[in-house]
Amino acid sequence: MALRFRRIVVLTGAGISAESGLGTFRDKDGLWTKYDLNEVATPEGFARNPRLVHEFYSARRKNLLDAKPNAAHAALAALEEAAGGNLLLVTQNVDTLHEQAGSRNIRHMHGELLRTRCGPCGHSAADEDELTLERQCTACGRAGGLRPDVVWFGEMPFHMDEIADALGDCDLFLSIGTSGTVYPAAGFVLAAAHAGAHTVELNLEPSEGHSTFAERRYGPASAIVPDYVNSLLSGGRHGGTAIAD
């Protein structure tokens, strides 16, 4: 089934994985209500107390290994299929639930929890194990410098040039499960709107940037994302009329 939209960019945040049992950051019992992000999600915090940072990310790794994608992740994989690959999925999430659901064209702009990077030599590799100061880098052999391959506050997000190009050329931008409080991701809707894209927010509640979106739907992602994708696939009111190939 052809879609009305030809070049789709999707941005996801922690809210899409909430119903899969992974915590969000800024909700009532979010991660940043239990940990001080300056201690566990900054280079300075890592330098000050690397063991605390290792504990924090090792616990999140364990949590992730038990988590399964939900209907929202599955709907986005189906949308990518229907879009014939003309869909770029940019996620702020460091989990692997989009991959597990079958999405392929994914950019983890905040890195990946199941990869470990060596601070001193930069080598990065897939890793599900506990992070410790004693573990040695498999490339340079040094111990004490292993960190999760994620982007901390004050560090540059990944894939920004490619994402900027995609935003400048898209005709549909979906923002799903994000509070719209952290830049540069929070500014993506403006770039997409500037490119003339139809912009849609799908979230549990209005985000910081809710008024910037042309269309907004609220509710749990596992319900509203499949509904919205189905309306696109069936050429529904919001999806416009489906155009035969």
Task: Copy the structure tokens of residue 119.
Answer: 């601070």
Residue from 221, 229, 232, 233 binding ligand APR (CB under 6 A): 221
User: Taking contact as CB under 6 A, which single stretch among the options 24-32, 81-89, 119-127, 232-240 is the one that binds ligand APR?
Assistant: 24-32
Cα–Cα dist 83/100, whole Å: 19
CA distances from 11 to 76, 93, 176 (A): 11, 10, 6
Q: CB of 152 within 8 A of CB of 42?
A: yes
User: Taking contact as CB under 6 A, which single stretch among the options 78-86, 133-141, 204-212, 228-236 is the one that binds ligand APR?
Assistant: 204-212
Q: Least distance to ligand APR from the beta carbon of 84, Å? A: 27
CA distances from 196 to 57, 148, 216 (A): 39, 37, 17
**Residues binding ligand APR: number (CB under 6 A):** 23
Cα–Cα dist 139/162, whole Å: 29
Binding flag, residue 19, ligand APR (CB under 6 A): yes
Binding flag, residue 205, ligand APR (CB under 6 A): yes
Catalytic residues: 110
For ligand APR, the binding residues (CB under 6 A) are 13-15, 18-19, 24-27, 30, 92, 110, 177-179, 181-182, 203-205, 207, 220-221
